[in-house]
Homo-oligomer: A and B are copies of this chain.
Amino acid sequence: MAKDKEFVKEITPQNEDFSQWYIDVIKKADLADYAPVRGCIVFKPEGYEIWERCQEGLDRRFKATGHRNAYFPLFIPESLLLKEAEHVEGFNPELPWVTEAGGEKLTERLAVRPTSETIIGEMYHRWIQSHRDLPVLINQWCNVVRWEKRTLPFLRTTEFLWQEGHTAHRTEEEARTEVMRMLEVYRDFLETDLAIPVVPGRKSESEKFAGAVETYSIEALMKDGKALQAGTSHFLGQNFSRVFDIQFLDDDGQRKYVWTTSWGMTTRIIGAMIMVHGDDRGLVLPPRVAPTQVVVVPILKKGQDEVRARAQQIADELRSVARVHLDDRAEYSPGWKFNEWEMRGIPLRIEIGPKDLEKNQAVLARRDSGEKLFVSLDNLPETVAGLLETIQKEMYERARGFMAENTRPAATFEELAEIIENKRGFVQAGWCGKAACEAEVKEKTKATIRNIPLEQPDNGPRHCVCCGEPAQYKVIFARAY
């Protein structure tokens, strides 16, 4: 038992040091490791497989909404990048440059892509001629690089993995519909597959994407009360189509600029998943994205080969409904194994001992609630499949409850400052719409406007939390990752 406790002790408790807890979990659950390159991580198989399941969940939704994948070059010539002024200003400080290649100094520097609007704009200029070529609905899965000053595994790394959708449309209305459709795809994916509740809304001018007309985001709340932007969808208007001359001949005989959008979700959602669901015992994985959903642990004693054989049989049976691992290692005690699989966040543990077999039962231990259930071995696959769905649903409900409890209204600046300082979480407040007020709150409290929620409440504060003028919007303030 001493050994079991020691094992768990290696993870710093959340309320002692949340950041250290986060790092400990990533390391102990074998999700990632630091790489010998500034600000980069290695995605280890256990972490990468979560990303593969996120990719599956997103890719299926992208294709169901008519998008196809393509691949554009990693390198962007400097001249292309310089075309859109706001865009380059936003990304320039973060760019790595290739200046030498093939043993020679290049005549033009090549940026390693921070995002691909410019190179894709150049290609759309070539591809789009007629209204018959529209809409263009393309997504790209790739790596991108931003030379960030402060990095944190998954949440902010020099290189990260993501998808970036880039679409071109005939009308403004169609492009705006696309922007909202993809925001909804992101919301649905995060809430359904990662069990993370989010607030969809529009970013303020100061927080929008460099080059966009409007940026929409989904914002999630971490267990330490800090917000995390989990996905963004941008309405780019005709900004990029004018700069890259993406015109089409419409059926009225007129040449017109297309309306474009872009939208992206990155590997930071793995960080969000860890910080929304994890606890002091380690990781807690939502069943839908868990590499292993069920671990079967036979309680083995010498000479009890029957238990091992039956556990094997049960594991095999369960493979038709779940991703199952059988842990029949002889060199570790059941208690040690329980702790290890809890730390690794496996949603469901099945314990099978000789007494269970006598009673034709097994013990099912839920990682999310800690609950233990004694269930019949008859119809075990159905029981397990149902329980995994229940876990997924209840993890979402629990996180939604946490977000609701930690979303508080503030009528005055003092209230807002007090909540941010002592309670964190989301603060609902009125905002006059002026950048000066937004900046003042940020300066004094380190809280930013996360977004202007799509669902504006009927009641609530009617005045700007900073200047007291009538509020134009009801917004969410929070400190953020």
Contacts and interface: CB of A to CB of B under 8 A. Distances in A.
Interface in A37-62: 37, 40, 42-45, 48-49, 51-52
A102 interface: yes
Nearest to A52: B69
A42 B159 contact: no
A259 B70 CA distance: 37
Contacts of A68: 45, 48-49
Given A40-B73, A42-B71, A68-B49, A101 B110 contact: no
A146 to B, nearest CB: 9
B37 A77 contact: yes
Contacts of A101: 95-97, 147
Interface in A290-318: none
A72 interface: yes
A180 interface: no
Nearest to A96: B101
Given A35-B123, A98-B98, A98-B112, A48 B71 contact: yes
Contacts of A96: 75, 98, 100-102, 110
Contact of A103 (B36, B44, B93): B93
A149 B101 CA distance: 11
Contacts of A8: none
A69 B45 contact: yes
Contacts of A5: none
A126 interface: yes
Given A42-B73, A71-B48, A159-B73, A102 B94 contact: yes
Interface in A119-170: 119, 122-123, 126-127, 138, 142-143, 145, 147, 149, 159, 161
Contacts of A138: 45
Interface string A75-115: 11100100000000000111111111111000001101000
A33 B124 CA distance: 11
A74 interface: yes
Nearest to A137: B45
Given A43-B71, A70-B43, A102-B96, A36 B161 contact: no
A101 B93 CA distance: 8
Contact of A102 (B37, B43, B147): B147
A152 to B, nearest CB: 16
Given A42-B123, A73-B40, A100 B99 contact: yes
Contacts of A145: 74-75
Contacts of A45: 68-70, 138
Contacts of A33: 123, 126-127
A98 B40 CA distance: 15
Interface string A179-209: 0000000000000000000000000000000
Contacts of A70: 42-45, 48
A123 B51 CA distance: 20
Contacts of A35: 72-73, 119, 123
A69 B37 CA distance: 20
Contacts of A99: 97-100
Nearest to A45: B68
A383 B75 CA distance: 47
Contacts of A103: 92-93
Nearest to A40: B73
Contacts of A75: 37, 40, 96, 145, 159
Contact of A161 (B48, B71, B112): B71
Contacts of A44: 70
Interface string A237-269: 000000000000000000000000000000000
A187 B63 CA distance: 31
Nearest to A76: B37
A33 to B, nearest CB: 7
Contacts of A43: 70-72
B36 A122 contact: yes
B74 A159 contact: yes
A83 to B, nearest CB: 12
Given A35-B119, A74-B145, 5 more contacts: A33-B126, A43-B71, A75-B145, A92-B103, A98-B99
7 contacts: A35-B73, A35-B119, A45-B69, A49-B68, A75-B159, A93-B102, A98-B98
9 shortest interchain CB distances as A-B pairs? A102-B147, A45-B68, A96-B101, A43-B71, A40-B73, A97-B100, A37-B73, A101-B147, A96-B98
